[in-house]
Amino acid sequence: MLKKDPIFWMATSIFILGVIIFGVTQNQLWLFLLAGSYLLRPTLASLNIAKSLVDERQMSIQYRSGNIAFAVMIIACIIMSVYQSNKGDHSWEFFNAIVIVGLAAKALSNVFLIGNYRESGTKIIMGVGLMLVLFVSLENGFSVGMLIESAPFWGIVGIGWLSKKFPRAIGGVVLGITVILLILILSKGFIIGQIITAVVVTVPLVTAGVSLIVGDRIESDPDGETVV
């Protein structure tokens, strides 16, 4: 039985609005509003908004169904990416981008929703550094050139490790590094692959840098010293 609460009526309104706009404009893109109406309740529940309107059973069902749906979507995109690539159709890059962005978003949200922003920032920085090292390894294989090219990214991993001791200072450094990486990535061409790489790399780093700077106002290490 449908639970007719404020979220239900908001979702219904979005659904009706999408149908009406589609009927007037005949533009099928407006039908995506129907997806928004369907995802409204689980999204609000995940963000702890209107939590009183979602019971534990609903949360459990949405958690399990969300994970299943995410896995199915990723697998479908991988299949389509492989299929289009074998045909020589460059549209495979779009499916590949969806997979990368989806996995990055899930990993980032899992780390960030822990609630300890500075610890999350450290993990994000180290994760991005290791991801860049992996990209270089896949592109060049294991060689001296790979080791040289990946050295700056190992530096990012090291900076992430140092952020445990100097969170505010490292947060500022990370934001500066993010700007440099953004310029370097986009200087190779303003194409879909580079744009996706820029988003996947810079958004987590900006999030981590801000988290380190504006984390807990007072934080002490085990010896009772205030963290810089």
pLDDT tens digits for range 58-69: 777 777 888 888
For 129, other C-beta atoms within 10 Å of its C-beta total: 22
Determine, yes or no, domain membership for 225. Answer: no
68 found inside a domain: yes
Which pLDDT score is estimated for 216? Answer: 54
Whether 175 shows a pLDDT value over 80: the answer reads yes
Same domain, 113 and 194: yes
- Tell whether 45 and 74 lie within a shared domain: no
What pLDDT is recorded for position 66?
80
Confidence of residue 226 (pLDDT cuts 50, 70, 90): very low
Rg (CA), the chain: 22
- Which residue segment(s) compose the domain that 9 sits in? 1-54
pLDDT value at residue 220: 44
Q: How far is CA 53 from the centre of its chain?
A: 27
CA 103, CA 198: separation in Å to the nearest integer? 15
220 within some domain: no
Residue 2: its pLDDT value, please? 57
pLDDT for the residue numbered 201: 80
Q: Does the global pTM surpass 0.85?
A: no
